[in-house]
Structures are given as structure tokens and as C-alpha cells.
């Protein structure tokens, strides 16, 4: 099976509480918290679509869309 290719990180900024779990567990350091403590994908090109951020997000605020 071909490796999934990232289309987009859908981030629900209103739902994100900035706990940093996704940032901490991202194996490729794709995510960071911005100045408002909301998650954003700063290096989307490095994303391997493992979805660990999506699965561990307590706020249901991240969704990985693949092609």
C-alpha cells in the first residue's frame, strides 16, 4: 500500500486549548503552538500522516486529510 500523502491539516482553532500534546508527540516536529497557544502546522511538508496528533488530541481539534 502506498504511503498516505498529506493534503491538509484541518485545525479547529476555536476548539484547541493549547495543551501541546500534539506538538510533543509529533515524530517529525511538524506542529507548534503559535503566539495564541493554538496549534499550527509549521512544517507540513515533513508530515508522515501517522495521525498521532489527531488520535491524541483531547479537544478533537486536529484532522489529517490525506490525498
Chain contacts with another protein (rule: CB under 8 A):
12, 14-21, 24-25, 52, 55-61, 63
Nearer to another protein, 19 or 40 (CB): 19
Please say whether the beta carbons of 30 and 46 come within 8 A: yes
- Residue 53 CB, nearest distance to another protein (Å)? 11
23 by Cβ neighbours in 10 Å (0-12 / 13-18 / 19+) ranks as middle
**Rounded CA separation 5/44 (Å):** 11
- Residue 10 CB, nearest distance to another protein (Å)? 10
- Residue 56 CB, nearest distance to another protein (Å)? 5
**Rounded CA separation 8/62 (Å):** 10
Nearer to another protein, 5 or 15 (CB): 15
Amino acid at each position: 500500500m502506498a504511503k498516505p500523502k498529506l493534503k491538509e491539516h484541518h485545525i479547529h482553532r476555536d476548539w484547541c486549548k493549547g495543551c501541546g500534546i500534539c506538538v510533543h508527540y509529533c515524530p517529525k516536529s511538524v506542529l507548534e503552538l503559535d503566539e495564541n497557544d493554538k496549534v499550527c502546522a509549521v512544517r507540513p511538508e515533513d508530515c508522515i500522516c501517522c495521525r498521532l496528533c489527531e488520535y491524541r488530541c483531547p479537544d478533537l481539534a486536529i484532522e489529517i486529510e490525506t490525498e
